[in-house]
Amino acid sequence: MTRPAVPVGTDPVGTDPVGTDPVGTDPVVTSEQDGGGASTGGGASPAGRGRGGPGVRAAATARVRATLGDHLRVVLLAVGLLVLIIISFGLGRYSLSPATVVRVLAHELFGLGNPVAGQDRAVVMDIRMPRILAALLVGAALASSGAAYQTMFRNPLVSPEILGVAAGAGFGASVSILVGLDTTLLQVISFGCGLLAAVLSLTIARVVGKGSLIILVLGGIIIGAMFNALISSVQYFANPETTLPEITFWLFGSLARASMHGLIVPAIIVAVCLTLLYAVRWQLTVLATGDDEARSLGVNRTRIWALTIGASTLMTATAVSVAGIIGWVGLVVPHLARFTVGPSFNRLLPVTALIGAGYLLAVDDVARTASSLDLPLGILTALIGAPFFVALLAKAGRQWL
């Protein structure tokens, strides 16, 4: 008598499911498919016990190769980012060779080698180090929050500004510049106003839509429009010769205010938020397949949504408080990461963070070197991101509608 095929089980709490990929790309291998689960004359055949038949071994081998391929991509991206960082230290009006940059960093960070000339050291450690670290931090934060929002909302057109966080943080920074506060207080007030915008959007969704995602998006649009109007009011009353240009330049996005002291708290916030998102990467991947599927696997949808929105909002508010409003990073970079490792969030998150960090650093290099002026980052990211996104729409737009 032939036994019925029994699917290999899955783990609902987020560990790697046996015989299946969380996003449904790898088929579940049953005992009949590998030829080892059915036998005649009673009892399973030897191929069906222990390590399984050829089908199981082939599937396991394919999964191992895919995992190694993903790890190799991450390593290559990390190496490429390191090379870009060294090159970025040497770019500018006072250019430095990569060898000089390496000597300065080796001595200052690890105590290796001999001290380098004072001017070279000052350029690397005092002038360019804060700006490069800020670009890496902001790029990783915006890109990762964009990937998390897109996965949670199951919509590839979602960006980190969806809850009005960027507009709220921009209003806080505008007021801070208007009254003449220093950079530290500017970041604190900008961060707080960004969180306030997110809270107002969530309140609208809870009161009006009872937690509906559609109402949440509409609430974000409303709150964003309100804070943009407040920003315009601040600009209207600002001194056109002093504070207005500074407010406008900051709103366009810039890393000119970056300092080592001012990056400590933002770096901690972004690191904690990335860790939280990575901890629930499997649950978020399952949740992206549908509510019914997530519920059947024991995923707490409300908890994952709350954690994802909270972590992504904190990172967005932090990024805007450091660098101003820089659009398109959180919208375009996640798509570049998907081209590299696919849509599964557990693989998407680290790749998105690396690409986002490198992307904004490269854009900032252009902003510093393409002109005698320090070009606003928001303008460059829009000029680069808009044509790229048009190409994405032409290629995959029908799948998104």
Report residue 77 as tokens: 């991206």
Structural domain harbouring 34: 1-6+29-73
Q: Is residue 78 part of a domain?
A: no
* Residue 261 sits in the same domain as residue 346: yes
Q: How many Cα atoms are found within 13 Å in the side-chain-facing hemisphere of 396?
A: 10
Report residue 203 as tokens: 């309140």
* Residue 329 sits in the same domain as residue 387: yes
* Residue 177 sits in the same domain as residue 59: no
* Residue 165 sits in the same domain as residue 258: yes
Q: Phi/psi zone of residue 85: left (φ > 0), alpha (ψ -120 to 50 degrees), beta?
A: alpha
Q: Is residue 310 part of a domain?
A: yes
Entry pTM: 0.82
Q: Indicate the number of domains in the chain.
A: 2
128 neighbors 257 (Cβ within 8 angstroms) = no
* Residue 261 sits in the same domain as residue 355: yes
* Residue 117 sits in the same domain as residue 65: no
**Three-class SS state of 327:** coil
DSSP 152-176: HHT-TT--GGGGSHHHHHHHHHHHH
Query: Residue for token digits 């604190």?
Result: 188
CA distances from 234 to 133, 177, 237, 241, 255 (A): 30, 10, 5, 14, 22
* Residue 54 sits in the same domain as residue 184: no
User: Minimal CA–CA distance to 177: which of 381, 313, 324, 315?
Assistant: 324
Q: Is residue 21 part of a domain?
A: no
* Residue 271 sits in the same domain as residue 191: yes
Domain C-terminal end among 73, 97, 128: 73
Q: Which parts of 28-119 are beta strand (E)?
A: none
Q: Is residue 23 part of a domain?
A: no
Rounded CA-CA distance 118/127 in Å is: 13
The enclosing domain of 129 has a CATH number of 1.10.3470.10
User: pLDDT (tens digit, 0 to 9) for every residue of the chain, 401 residues total?
Assistant: 444 444 444 444 444 443 444 444 443 333 334 444 444 444 444 444 445 567 777 666 766 666 677 788 999 999 999 999 999 999 998 999 999 999 999 999 998 988 887 899 999 999 999 999 999 999 999 999 999 999 998 888 889 988 999 999 999 999 999 999 988 899 999 999 999 999 999 999 989 877 778 898 899 999 999 999 999 999 999 999 999 999 999 999 999 889 999 999 999 999 999 999 999 999 999 988 888 888 888 888 889 999 999 999 999 999 999 999 999 999 999 999 998 898 889 899 999 999 999 999 999 999 999 888 889 999 999 999 889 888 877 776 555 55
Q: Is residue 11 part of a domain?
A: no
347 neighbors 398 (Cβ within 8 angstroms) = no
* Residue 185 sits in the same domain as residue 253: yes
